[in-house]
Amino acid sequence: MAIFRLQSSRVLAVDLDGEAVKAKKGAMVAYDGEMTFKKMTGGGEGLRGLVTRRITGEAMAVMEVRGRGTCWFADRATEINLVRLTGDKLHVEASNLLVTEPALRTGTSFTGLRGASQGNGLFTTTVEGTGQAAIMSDGPAIVLRVTQGTPLVVDPGAYVAHTGDLRQQLRSSVGLRTLIGEGSGESFQIHFEGEGLVYVQPSERNTIGGQI
Amino acid sequence: MTHPEGPVVHDPHTLPVNDNVNPYAFCVDLDGQWFLQKGKMIAYYGQVDFHAIGHGPLDHLVAANFHSPLHATAWVVAQGRGKMLLADRAYDINSYDLDDGNLTIRSGNLLAFQPGLALKQSIIPGFLTLIGTGKFVAASNGAVHFVEPPIRVDPQALVGWADCPSPCHHYDHAYLRGVLGGIRALTGIGGASGEEHQFEFTGSGQVLLQSTEELMGATDTGGVPATAGPGVPGAGV
């Protein structure tokens, strides 16, 4: 079984003993032992996955890393967060996904307007199954719990990922005042309701709605 | 669902009260109003509304606490009740308490402040002054250090200062002396170390420095109104 450990907050070490992990293409920074790196077309989801990803724009350049030894991964010094899944589903942007265990299935799902407001397209990547995944964020991610009594509101630019049974809804408060240049800067927000965890980063991506 | 080896999971009850969640994010326990720079809210629990400064239901509050018309479009008022997280491009974030004091800070570094403080535009272009009692939140590129005057600081490392007189420019005179120095001073030829110009602080108070010389991308501060007339620094530029 692949063992994920954070060498530091920005470098992930994965111990492999003959098995394989899926990693973002080009994210390997060092390894010892014997490793092979194989490009996986279409995120390793077969022909159907390849076509889906092409159509949805949720392109994911993935490689399969197989071998014995330790492989270190990092990407542009962004912070790395480990997520352990036990049968639940992780929603994350393809660009924020670093490494997944082979037992995890990846796919795409429709997110609706939220994706559009983030400038990330209308689709997001899902990771399902049991195992560990490493996701990236600009600054260490903060994990916020959502329960029935405590819904959460997140800025689209700070959203990284979420797990659990959550309903999300994009809300906007664009009014007449926004049009005359007096927007609040927080006009677009994602409301999360249900039970689950939301990962936010202490930084905002440039979004279409961010400055309104 | 527990994550024994995973990250800390926060909920509205475990989030800190007016304190840092980690070095890059700050949690405001909102019960009333706070002034925020636009776009620095990353998430919140509870019921919070964001109002642009200008016209609106908060005219009275704005009139009492916000005296920087040049910055008005860069600020909003958060009103309501809940826990609100603030962050800025993954920069270091710190909160400070002012007790009937005054503090001047680079406009791009200030993220948020309590209405107990009044925000005024400093006559030094690009700086804001906070006067009164309350808490404010500021970002810096690297951790903030407090030093006491007399001190000369690198212009790019300066975040702000409290209680002491405004700084003056200081040029390394020895470097610009003599024939060679004259040529350097006049033409810029001959190389500069990049450290012959500093800000000089005197008097008693505190100077805040960040640990890099990379300025944070400041929001446009706008200009002094054209009607300001002669004698106002920055007017007529």
Q: State the ipTM, two decimals.
A: 0.81
Which pLDDT value is given to residue B16? 94
User: Whole-angstrom Cα distance, residue B49 to residue B60?
Assistant: 17
Q: Where exactly does CATH 3.60.160.10 map onto chain B?
A: 11-140
Segment among A84-88, B15-19, B229-233 with least mean pLDDT: B229-233
Reported as a single tens digit per residue, the pLDDT across B173-188 is 666 566 666 666 566 5
Cβ–Cβ < 8 Å for A112, A85: no
Reported as a single tens digit per residue, the pLDDT across A164-189 is 988 888 777 655 444 444 455 566 78
Which pLDDT value is given to residue A111? 65
- Report the residue from B11, B41, B85 with minimal CB separation from A150: B11
Q: Identify the residue among A144, A150, A180, A200 best suited for mutation to test binding to B, counting B beta carbons within 10 A and taking the highest.
A: A144
With a pLDDT cut of 70, the percent of chain A lying above it is: 74
User: Searching chain B, which residue's CA lies closest to the CA of residue A80?
Assistant: B7
Reported as a single tens digit per residue, the pLDDT across A37-79 is 988 765 556 666 666 666 656 667 788 899 999 999 999 889 9
Which pLDDT value is given to residue A100? 92
Reported as a single tens digit per residue, the pLDDT across B203-223 is 898 999 998 887 776 555 555
Which pLDDT value is given to residue B235? 62
Cβ–Cβ < 8 Å for A81, A136: yes
Q: Identify the residue among A153, A195, A198 best suited for mutation to test binding to B, counting B beta carbons within 10 A and taking the highest.
A: A153
User: Whole-angstrom Cα distance, residue B189 to residue B195?
Assistant: 16
CB pairs under 8 A between A and B: 121
**Is A143 an interface residue toward B (CB < 8 Å)?**
yes
User: Coil, strand, or helix at residue A17?
Assistant: strand
Q: What is the CATH number of domain B11-140?
A: 3.60.160.10
Q: How many Cα atoms within 13 Å fall on the side-chain side of residue B219?
A: 19
Reported as a single tens digit per residue, the pLDDT across B119-139 is 888 888 888 899 999 999 999
User: Whole-angstrom Cα distance, residue A144 to residue A129?
Assistant: 22
Segment among A116-130, A190-204, B16-30 with least mean pLDDT: A116-130
Q: Write down all domains in chain A, each with its CATH number in brackets.
A: 3-200 (3.60.160.10)
Contact B39 A84 (CB under 8 A): no
Over range A96-125, report the average pLDDT.
Answer: 72
Q: Is the pLDDT of residue B142 over 90?
A: no
Q: Is the pLDDT of residue B227 over 70?
A: no
Contact A153 B43 (CB under 8 A): yes
pLDDT band at A26 (very low <50, low <70, confident <90, very high): confident
- Report the residue from B10, B54, B87 with minimal CB separation from A144: B10
Contact A145 B54 (CB under 8 A): no
Cβ–Cβ < 8 Å for B123, B173: no
Reported as a single tens digit per residue, the pLDDT across B86-101 is 999 889 999 999 999 9
Which pLDDT value is given to residue A178? 47
